Structure 1
Amino acid sequence: MTYEPVDWVSLDAEKVKNVTPRYARLRVDGNGSAKGQIIGWQNIELISDRPLEIMLKEFKQLKEEYPDRILIASIMEEYNKAGWEELIDRVEQTGVDALEINFSCPHGMPERRMGAAVGQDCALLEEVCGWINAKATVPVWAKMTPNITDITQPARVALSSGCEGVAAINTIMSVMGINLTTLRPEPCVEGYSTPGGYSAKAVHPIALAKVMNIAKLMKSEFGDTDYSLSGIGGVESGGDAAEFILLGANTVQVCTGVMMHGYGVVKKLCSELKDFMKQHNFSSIEDFRGASLEYFTTHTDLVTRQQEAIKQRKAIRKGLQSDKDWTGDGFVKETESMVSN
């Protein structure tokens, strides 16, 4: 089980130019009061503009200080085979345990065929996954975009192209809102804005649905014991994490939750998840991973199930089926059970 905010690493940070402000929040009360609970968070942030050399140094330091912990580097690069190969080689040299490939950032530099520009194009995704998996010597996760009609299509391509797992979801393309005083969009940069990625609690139900669909795909077509699934989206409690695991996730990631509540939230999440497991007498994640998947079906099947249940309840209300079923002492209730009005 992992909780991990991640940095997006690319070869050339010089090309990345971020702006400020780059975040906007959605609160539960309609007037946007600063006292309202934050349920939505939008960013128009690009990948990190921190130099690659600094990140590589930090990766190496982390593995030296915590050799028994899992470190996964989240990386993104342009549509350039040589660039991907160089980035993978340099990151792997730090000792990371796995790579998460960002095929899902919904905004920024689509002209460079990065992020969701790849994840939304299955042919392009297959090609780039081929480059990556031919080079990588550690497990590879493909991070999926929710900004697509059927998320199982790119997930299937990624797994078929050699990835050991998928992570879902990244942020959802959104417009956070309009300032009704200035008539300008948020977040406002010199009077202007651009659509960005939406996260936090409000996206949790959407993320659960996407993860459920991927988990069912993996179970039916790939064997979910051979591949891994990392659930992401609106995790702020141990219960949120448990929901992803119940839908088939092997691990759970947190980023916005840590940004809002600080690193201390990780201990809270772990503690609450352990409490959930104790409540149900689960001794490991595998004891309940995917346990809720079997309860999802089609609407047509729901109708059939309900009609059958209604028939059974009506049959029970009809009362005794034969005179031999009379009990004697309970004859008043038994008589009542056979009255029609």
Structure 2
Amino acid sequence: MAEMTMRDALNQALHQEMERDERVIVVGEDVAGGSGGSSGNEEAAGGIFGVTKGLKTRFGGNRVIDTPISESAIVGLANGAALAGMRPVAELMFADFVGVSLDQIFNQMAKFRYMFGGKAKTPVVLRMSMGAGMNAAAQHSQTIYPMLSAIPGLKVAIPSTPADAKGMLATAIRDDDPVIFFEHKALYARKGEVPEGEYLVPFGEAALLREGSDVTVVAIARMVPFAMKAVDKLAGEGITCDLIDMRTTSPIDEETILESLSQTGRLVVVDESNPICSIASEIAGLAASKGFHDLRAPVQKITAPHTPVPFARELERLYVPSPNDIEAAIRAVLKEV
């Protein structure tokens, strides 16, 4: 297997899926290079994060389409194209701007199949970057996956590794239902081994990255490598943990979480989003409602505080849950009687 960044793994998935199916199109701000054509360049960087680099050169301007700076137009275009038989991959540059297009997402995209009695498909993939840790301030750093996970009719995918990024994006593109695909900005440069050729990761199946008997640790996106650092450090002291990467928050793999909890009796959930109505709260509720008799200690939730993301680097470091915070939570839950 080749080693590559998450950015390159996503790019490879887009190339392979567009090669495989001519109905796949890519739309969004600067996905084809923005003003590249007028400046004499056929293609610029390929989006602000470089994920769509090379697509226009390979597949042309009819399939890789720059749009105006209008999230509502981007999502509306993708909805219409999907209903007309295309398989659009639409990019919102930052997840924070999803509110501008929220009606098209939760009142249209998510409900077409239901409202039309199953006769309509909306195979839209809506890619968006998210997350703090890049000093991008309050309007470009939020993790809003809990908000969109709460909408019936949407699937929500959140990879944490390059391999999962490739496999989950391919799965999303082939899905007949709309998929919201979150990419953490701080993970674009993360490297890892990625399978060559066709590779699919099924939705609703969490990944068990570490195995242990003392604590179940559930994490999402950038919190996965943070949790891995904490878990690996504690393993040196004889404290072993199951580490579960959720991968999708709609659907949620309840079976894997509950099976692990039945063995450990203790649960720590790490979630970069704000604490109220968070995925951490959802998993804690799952443990309370379906795993209560297995619990030997209260569930520990590790989240960002209920505030906007600060701009100052020092404050942002305090805002984002750290490996030390996760380690402390694991130690705390082990002390509970």
TM-score, length of structure 1 as denominator length: 0.33
Flag the structure with higher strand content.
2
TM-score, length of structure 2 as denominator length: 0.33
Find the structure with the greater CA-based Rg: 1
Considering Cα pairs closer than 8 Å and 6+ residues apart, tell me whether 1 or 2 has the greater RCO: 2
